[in-house]
Amino acid sequence: MSKWLDNAVFYEIYPQSFKDTNSDGIGDIQGIIEKLDYVRELGCNAIWLNPCFASPFYDAGYDVEDYFNVAPRYGTNEALKELFEKAHEKNMHVILDLVPGHTSVKHPWFKESMKPTENEYTNRYVWTDDIWTDFKDVQGVFGSIRGMSDRNGCCAVNFLSMQPALNYGFANPQESWQFSTSSKEAIATREAMKEVMSFWLSMGCDGFRVDMAGSLVKNDDDSKETIKLWQNFRNFLDEKFPEAVLISEWGEPEKSLEGGFHMDFLLHFGTSNYMDLFRSENPYFSREGKGDISKFANKYMENYKLTNGKGLMCIPSGNHDMPRIAHKLDDEELKIAFAFLLTMPGAPFIYYGDEIGMKYLENITSVEGGYARTGSRTPMQWDNTVNAGFSTAKKEDLYIMQDPDEDRPTVKRQMETENSLYKEVKRLTNLRVENEPLCSNAGIEFLYAEEKTYPFIYKRTGKEGSILVVLNPSKKGASCEVNENLSCEVIYSNNGEAVIDKSIITAPACSASIFKIMK
C-alpha cells in the first residue's frame, strides 16, 4: 500500500467549478495548477479530480467519450501532466476519477457496437439479442437504449439513459446474450480498462477514485464476481504500478477492500447512516441537540470489524452528488463537524468550498445532468472581485450560476477573519498530520456513542500513542461516564475545553476537545 495514504488529506476538485483562467466561464486545469498552493496551505496533500476526459457532458463528464484525452474545455493532456508534476513538486498527489462501468453513447466503442455486422466491439457493451427483449429484473441495469441503430437488440444502461453499460460479464449467465466473466468478451473489456489505467499512471497520475465500483458485473447479488474482477485489476497494478491507489465508490468496505481497494467511501446512499451526521432532518452535528449518533457508530464498527480492523472508510464533508454540508449547519456547527471529519480513520475528503462554508443553492436550473445536485456544483468563491474571483467572463457566461448573496463566503474574507471556518479547518488538518494516532491507519474505539445522547467520544490509537476526541455539538453542556480512567493533556479545543475527571467527562456546549492520553 502506498505509504502516502497513511496521512493523506484529500481535496475534491470539480474542475469546471474551481478556477477559470481563459475567461470562458468554465474552470480548467491551469486554474487548478494556479491554486495548488492554496490547497496545500489548507493542509490537503492530495487531490481527487472529478472527470476531466473528453465528454459530451450530459452527465458532467461521467459520460466519457474518450478515456485517453482531456476535454478541450479543461485544457490538454500536457496540462494534466503538468498538474501531476507540479503537485509532486509540492509533495502532493493527484487521483483521477475513473468511470469503468459505462461510457457516453458518443464513445467510438459504442458507435462500433451499434453496427449490425459483427466486429471487435460488438460485445463491448451489454446487449440483448432482440429489440423486444429488455432487462427486466437484471441486477445492476437501470434501463435500456433501443432503436438508435440497425442492430437488433437493446443495450443496458448503467445509470442515465445515455450511459451504455460496458460488458464485464454476468455472475450467473441465464440467456444467450449474457456472457460469463471469463468469456473473451468480458476479458476484452477488462483489458481495455487496464490500458486506460496504464496510460494515466504512466503520465504521473497517482491512482483513481472509481465511480460505481460495485456495479460492473451484472446479476452479481453477492458481489463475488465483482470482487474477483477488482482483484484482477489490483494484481495487474501491483505488478505494473505498485504505488497506484484505488479508492472506491462502493459503500460496502467489507467487499471493496477484499477486492483490492485501499479505501472505500461512506456514501449518502446505502446503510452507513452517513446522512444522520450532517444532512438528516435532525443532524447530529446541529446545535439543536436532537440527533442520534448511535446508528452511525454501530454500523461503522460493524464494517470496521468486517475489514479486520483496517477501518479504511473515507468520510467526506460532501461531494458533487449531495447537498453541501452547510445546507443544514452554520459555520460554528461546521467547526465541530470538521473536528469529527479530520480525526476519524481513513483519508478525509474535503469538497471544494466546504472549508469556507459555501452554500447549497436550491431550485436552480439543472446544468449538465446535475438536477438537484447542481446547487452543490456552483463556482468557487475566492474573493470580492468579479464573479468572486472564479472567472473574468461575463456573469451570464458562467456555466453554472454563482451564489448571488452579497455576503457569500469567500476565501479572502475567511483568511482575514479571526476564528473563521477556514482557519479552523486548517488548524485541524495540521493537527491530524502532526499526530500519528489521528492518521488513516490508526485504530478507533467508540467510548460513548449512545442513542439520542451527547457527547460523542472516541479514542484513536496508533504506534505513537492514543488520542481522545470529545465532541458535543449540542447547545447544552453534557456529561457521561466511560469505561476507563483517563489522564489526558489537551492538544486542541474549540469553544471551551472538556473536563476529564477519571472516567467522568463533561463537555461544554457546542465544543470540540482533543486530548493526548498520557501513559
pLDDT at 267 over 90: no
221 neighbors 157 (Cβ within 8 angstroms) = no
**C-beta contacts of 3-8 below 8 A and 24+ residues apart:** 4/45, 4/46, 4/93, 4/206, 5/245, 5/262, 5/263, 5/347, 5/440, 6/439, 6/440, 6/441, 7/45, 7/432, 7/433, 7/436, 7/439, 7/440, 8/45, 8/46, 8/93, 8/347, 8/440
- Residue 100's closest CA among 87, 92, 91, 109? 109
Place 320 in a pLDDT band, splitting at 50, 70 and 90.
very high
Lowest-pLDDT choice from 12-16, 251-255, 344-348: 251-255
On the question of pLDDT at 31 being above 70, the answer is yes
pLDDT at 313: 87
Residue 2 has pLDDT above 90, yes or no: no
> For 151-157, what is the mean pLDDT?
97
CATH 3.90.400.10 in the chain, residue ranges: 102-167
**pLDDT exceeds cutoff 80 at 515:** yes
Is it the case that residue 323 has pLDDT exceeding 60?
yes
What confidence tier does 215 reach under pLDDT thresholds 50, 70, 90? Answer: very high
**Where does 443-517 sit in CATH, by number?**
2.60.40.1180
The pLDDT-based confidence of 137 (bands split at 50, 70, 90) is confident
| SS3 state at 212 | coil
Q: pLDDT band for position 457 (50/70/90)?
A: very high
Pairing of strands 10-13, 46-49: parallel
Categorize the per-residue pLDDT at 442 as very low, low, confident or very high, splitting at 50, 70 and 90.
very high
**Residue for grid cell 476565501:** 411
Percent of the chain residues past pLDDT 90, beyond the cut: 94
Neighbouring C-alpha atoms within 13 Å toward the C-beta of 3: 2
Starting from the edge strand earliest in sequence, which strands make up the sheet with 263-265, in order?
313-314, 263-265, 245-248, 207-210, 93-98, 46-49, 10-13, 349-351
Is the pLDDT at 67 greater than 80? The verdict is yes
Q: Does domain 3-99+187-432 have CATH number 1.20.140.10?
A: no
DSSP string across 101-151: SB--TTSHHHHHHTSSS--TTTTSB-B-SSTT---TT-TT---EE-SSSSS
Q: What is the mean pLDDT of residues 333-347?
A: 97
The fraction of the chain above a pLDDT of 70, given in percent, is 100
Are residues 354 and 333 in contact, defined by beta-carbon separation less than 8 angstroms? no
Q: What mean pLDDT comes out for the span 482-499?
A: 96
- Do residues 64 and 104 touch, judged by C-beta distance below 8 A? yes
Q: What is the rounded (10 degree) CA torsion for 27, 31, 37, 41? A: -10
Could you tell me whether strands 443-448 and 456-462 are parallel, antiparallel, or unpaired per DSSP bridges?
antiparallel
Lowest-confidence region among 48-57, 60-69, 133-142: 133-142
- pTM of the predicted model, to two decimals? 0.97
Nearest of 366, 323, 268 to residue 58 by alpha carbon: 366
pLDDT of 206: 98
CA pair distance 165, 332, nearest whole angstrom: 44
Please give the Cα distance from 508 to 515 (Å, whole number).
15
- According to the model, what pLDDT value does residue 254 have? 87
Residue 308 confidence (pLDDT)? 78
Q: Confidence class of residue 1 from pLDDT cuts 50, 70 and 90?
A: low
Residue with cell 455576503: 407
- Give the largest CA-CA distance in the chain: 78
Q: Is the dihedral of CA 285, 350, 443, 270 positive or negative?
A: positive
The answer to whether 512 touches 486, Cβ cutoff 8 Å, is no
- The confidence score (pLDDT) of residue 270 equals 76
Which class is 102-167 in CATH?
alpha beta
Model confidence band, residue 311 (pLDDT cutoffs 50, 70, 90): low
- CATH 3.20.20.80, the chain: domain bounds: 3-99+187-432
pLDDT above 80: residue 519: no
Whole-number Cα distances in Å, 265 to 42, 230, 510: 22, 16, 27
Mean pLDDT for 459-470 is 97
pLDDT for 271 beyond 90: no
Is the pLDDT confidence value at 309 over 80?
no
Residues of the chain with CATH 2.60.40.1180: 443-517
**Residue in the block written with cell 445546507:** 327
- Higher pLDDT, residue 504 or 303: 504
Q: Measured at the alpha carbon of residue 387, what is the angle toward residues 382 and 391, in degrees to the nearest 5?
A: 85
What does the angle CA 415 – CA 417 – CA 419 come to, to the nearest 5 degrees? Answer: 100
Per-residue pLDDT at 268 exceeds 80: no
Least confident of 135-144, 150-159, 263-272: 263-272
pLDDT, the chain, mean: 96
